[in-house]
Amino acid sequence: MNPAIRLSDISVTLGDETTGRTTVLRDISLDLGHDEVLAIVGRSGVGKSTLLRVLAGLVETSAGTVEHHRVHGPHRSAMVFQDALLLPWLNVVDNVAFSLQLTSHPGRLRRRRDRRRHARSVLERLDIGHLAERYASQLSGGQQQRVAIARAVAAEPDVLLLDEPFSALDIATRSSLQQWVLDHRDSLASAIVLVTHDLAEALFVADRIALLHHSDDRDHRDQTASIAFWASDVEDRHHLASSAVRSEIEHAMAVSTP
């Protein structure tokens, strides 16, 4: 596999001498391939979001190496959270265009009108161009999350990082957004990482699933996380409820140390 990001034996320790140090991740290795959708699942508090922030470069590791591989130019990642965080005083196209002011881009996007033109093209490519002139208060929860993803995609990231972006939505809207991500997979980013607590969502959206779980390490004071991988049955996404992969992961989650 040609990795977009490679983590080699990384560890993350949070806190300081005053508050106390806690090792959240220890000796985690992970390759994220180009053209891959990777889902990270696991129990609450196991370190899923911390691992995502390591991939984004927002959290420093205390050990190990993080390598970013891109054929041309600097590596760029973008993150989407559970809350869409749209600016309420801007319409959709200006929300997407505004994000381009916060990232480095070629001269073609230095002028406001060029940023707005680029934002509109992204919205059209993702089939939400009809929302361009609306404001956040005029959008449903699902529409707001589509716009939040479009805003991230406008920055042309190599890796799109999704931190439980659908967890606050109702079941029907979540299903619609999951299918939307699959339908527009090639327009989003070279690689996608989805953190989710919903195993069915992970099986439906991802090519590969990483289970982050607590390991009982008697040689260390902290309970730290281990990682295991499964390939999702991408040829049969609509019939995964009774799949062997799901049964294996559910069993692994059940027997991991809480």
Least confident of 7-21, 23-37, 54-68: 7-21
Chain segment 136-189, per-residue pLDDT in tens: 999 999 999 999 999 999 988 889 999 999 988 999 999 999 999 999 999 999
CA atoms within 13 A on the CB side of 63: 10
Angle in degrees, CA 131, 138, 164, rounded to 5: 80
pTM: 0.86
Angle in degrees, CA 15, 16, 22, rounded to 5: 40
Residue 221: pLDDT band with limits 50, 70, 90: very low
Say if residues 147 and 134 touch (Cβ distance below 8 Å).
no
Q: What are phi and psi of 63, to 5 degrees?
A: -160, 160
Most confident region among 14-18, 92-96, 235-239 by mean pLDDT: 92-96
Concatenating the DSSP letter of every residue in 50-100 gives: HHHHHHHT-S--SEEEEEE--SSS---EEEE-SS----TTSBHHHHHHHHG
- Please report the domains of the chain, with CATH numbers, ordered by start residue: 1-76+157-258 (3.40.50.300), 82-156 (no CATH)
Predicted local distance difference test score (pLDDT) of residue 250: 79
CB within 8 Å of 204: residues ≥ 6 apart: 178, 182, 237, 238, 240
